Amino acid sequence: MTRTVFIIPAVLLILIAAHGSARAQPGDPAVTADIKVLLNKYVLIVNAADAGSLRLLWADPEKISFISPGQRFTTWKELQGFFDGFLKNSFTERQLKPGNVTISSAGDAAWAVFDWEFNAKLKNGQPFQSRGWETHIYRRTDQGWRLTHIHYSVPITPPPGQAAP
């Protein structure tokens, strides 16, 4: 019994250590470079509100996973409607600026997490600005790295009299 008490934790530590070596590798230069290229393409696509080019970045355009503060998109038609409707038709100018970008990978999966600032001009000429955070999930495919999920968030406005978290 005493021996079992020591063996089980030892085996668990070995398994944890082995699992830890398969964790994300934020320093893989080849993956980081590939994801940076895709992220830069994404920024250009948002700035142009080019839904057609966005479709080319997805691993499977018929299986969309895109979360925004206002809506969840699960089909290409929904995401295309967001780009063509809201993004393209609401603004005459758009400039997405990512910052504080972190790219990690593990095997055939990679993800980019970043802060963003979106500066635009509304159709009536008024400036518009928003800020938030975004996460992109990528999968290595026969065509290279492709998006499988995007999630973006914006800060909440705290109730009157309360500080932001």
Query: Is the residue at 18 inside a domain?
Result: no
Give the pLDDT confidence score for residue 25 in this predicted structure: 54
Structure confidence by residue, pLDDT tens digits, 71-127: 999 999 999 999 999 999 999 999 999 999 999 999 999 999 999 999 999 999 999
Domain assignment present for residue 165? The answer is: no
What pLDDT, on the 0 to 100 scale, is given for residue 156?
Answer: 84
Quote the radius of gyration of the chain (alpha carbons, Å).
Answer: 20
- Asked if residue 35 belongs to a domain, the reply is yes
Q: Does the structure show a pLDDT above 90 at 131? A: yes
Please give the tally of structural domains in the chain.
1
**The domain spanning residue 55 has which CATH number?**
3.10.450.50
Question: Quick count: other Cβ atoms within 10 Å of Cβ 109?
Answer: 15
In a domain, 122, yes or no: yes
Domain that holds residue 136: 25-153
**Residue 15 confidence (pLDDT) above 70:** no
pLDDT at res. 26: 59
d(Cα 144, Cα 157) in Å, to the nearest integer? 39
**Whole-number pLDDT of residue 140:** 97
Q: What CA–CA distances, in Å, run from 60 to 34, 65, 79, 106?
A: 18, 10, 13, 20
pLDDT of residue 78: 95
Kindly state whether residue 14 falls inside one of the protein's structural domains.
Answer: no
100 within domain boundaries: yes
Report, as an integer, the average pLDDT of 132-146: 97
Helix H, strand E, coil C: the string for 82-98 is HHHHHHHHHEEEEEEEE
Using 50, 70 and 90 to split pLDDT, how confident is the model at 8?
very low
With 60 as the cut, is the pLDDT of residue 6 above it?
Answer: no
In one-letter notation, the amino acid at residue 26 is: P
Q: Is residue 5 situated within a structural domain? A: no
